[in-house]
Amino acid sequence: MSARLIESLATTEPLADLFCDESVLSAMLEFEVALSRAEGRVGVIPKAAADAIAAAAKVDKFDIAALSRATLRAGTPAIPLVKTLTGAVLKKDPDAARFVHWGATSQDVADSAISLLLKQAEPILIGDLELLENSLTRLAKEHQASVMLGRTLLQAAPPVTLGLKSAGWLGSIRRVGYTLREAFTHATVLQFGGASGTLAFLGDKGIAVGKALAKELGLALPEAPWHTHRDRWATLVCVCGVLTGSLGKMARDISLLMQNEIDEAAEPGGEGRGGSSTMPQKRNPIACSLALAAAYRVPGLVSSYLSAMVQEHERAVGGWQAEWPILSGVVQSTGLALASMAEVTGRLAVNPKAMRANIERTNGAIFAERAMMLLGSNLGRDAAHKMLQAASERSAAENRHLADVLGEIPEITAYLGRETLQQLEIPENYLGSADKFRKALLSKSSKPKKP
């Protein structure tokens, strides 16, 4: 794994590899090679020069540590990169060396390299997103009739189903997932504008070179250079923030369901997964913890990125330089949260018996609302509410079922017969439109429909 130890809880192995030093350097060199080939094709530089540049642009020929130190002094990785590449070409072909980085500016290299990395990150994130959507769809179907406590303000409330709960998670993930796909499409674009964003250095060949360069790199060609217009990447960052929030909500729910006294669900364990250094019996919600950590971390990064959008004129002082670690951190954290929750939902252990037992443990208190509404049409809502509140307090104090207590109150039995009270605490009889909502959430495509 390429991640540094300090980042090992903030990324996945594929994303750590993608944003490692060698990969970032490779993306910048890919830009330089593609630029020379595009200019050779358009006739701006000799094709032989493009071949010489491509031959010299090898990652293993660069001292990454030295490049990093030089970047800190230059304020951009492109300056020491171009200097080193030019030197390497000079040794083999002095004539070709003068065409390295021809007509481009430092930010063209840096931004296009990140676009290339984002293009590679997209299938990693979308792959885990699709796994997660499939797992949630399966859970929503398999547990359509698995009744469980609803919980409001962390307290027991009228019943729901795990099918509806899973479908709710799915709906949120699908909605933001569509936006994520769209955001990636807009974010993976070429940056090529030269010194002031006009490509004046290339004369009337600038646009032709840009088109050829975009084709070489497999990136979309924007209407114009966007050196200080960071809205595309900001949109992607914000969408990642919303997605990690949705994933964090799901992780919070599941981790709470994993509490020993609840025991309604559990994420998959395995060798080295979920244990404790001191307590052998523990099965900790590790994947949920990682998703929650990402959900805590990403909002601050989103805020930092948005702050850095205020960039001056045609080239920024500080704003652009702030972006690399923020953007890579957001993408990696989002990817970690996605991978973690795809793992959790792919093999989520569900305990319907515990769900039923937890409902029973309330002694029918969660059905006080149902009893109140049955009485309300005869006694009025306020009077019925007061009666049920008093009955609920008595039920709790005496550790008896609410229906039994209600059956001893004449003012209530005058309107609620024995059969009604016997049916009162059956959770399947008080699910309302739960299954219709579940089906509606499942029927939606990944692309939201206009209301």
DSSP class of residue 319 equals T
Q: How far apart (Å, rounded) are the C-alpha atoms in residues 322 and 307? A: 10
The active-site residue out of 68, 276, 303, 446 is 276
What pLDDT shows up at residue 282? 55
- Could you tell me which residues come within 8 angstroms of residue 384 by beta carbon, excluding any fewer than 6 positions away? 371, 372, 373, 375, 376
What's the topology of domain 365-424?
Answer: Ribonucleotide Reductase Protein R1; domain 1 (1.10.40)
Query: At 325, which helix (H) or strand (E)?
Result: helix 323-346
What pLDDT shows up at residue 4? 83
283 is catalytic: no
3-state class of 266 per DSSP?
strand
276 is catalytic: yes
Query: At 71, which helix (H) or strand (E)?
Result: helix 64-74
Each of the 451 residues of the chain gets a pLDDT tens digit; together they read: 567 888 999 999 999 999 999 999 999 999 999 999 999 999 999 999 999 999 999 999 999 999 999 999 999 999 999 999 999 999 999 999 999 999 999 999 999 999 999 999 999 999 999 999 999 999 999 999 999 999 999 999 999 999 999 999 999 999 999 999 999 999 999 999 999 999 999 999 999 999 999 999 999 999 999 999 999 999 999 999 999 999 999 999 999 999 999 999 999 876 656 554 444 455 789 999 999 999 999 999 999 999 999 999 999 999 999 999 999 999 999 999 999 999 999 999 999 999 999 999 999 999 999 999 999 888 898 999 999 999 999 999 999 999 999 999 999 999 999 999 999 999 999 999 999 999 999 997 545 554 4
Q: How far apart (Å, rounded) are the C-alpha atoms in residues 116 and 336? A: 20
Please, are residues 299 and 326 in contact by the beta-carbon 8 Å criterion? no
Q: 194 vs 44, 76, 104, 206, CA distance in Å?
A: 15, 15, 4, 9
Domain boundaries 13-104+205-215, corresponding CATH code: 1.10.275.10
Please, are residues 258 and 341 in contact by the beta-carbon 8 Å criterion? no
The active-site residue out of 181, 315, 356, 400 is 315
Class of the CATH-defined domain 106-189+226-361+431-451:
mainly alpha
What pLDDT shows up at residue 279? 45
Within 10 angstroms of residue 268's Cβ, the number of other Cβ atoms is 16
Provide the token pair at 420: 């009604």
Q: Where are the domains of the chain?
A: 13-104+205-215, 106-189+226-361+431-451, 365-424
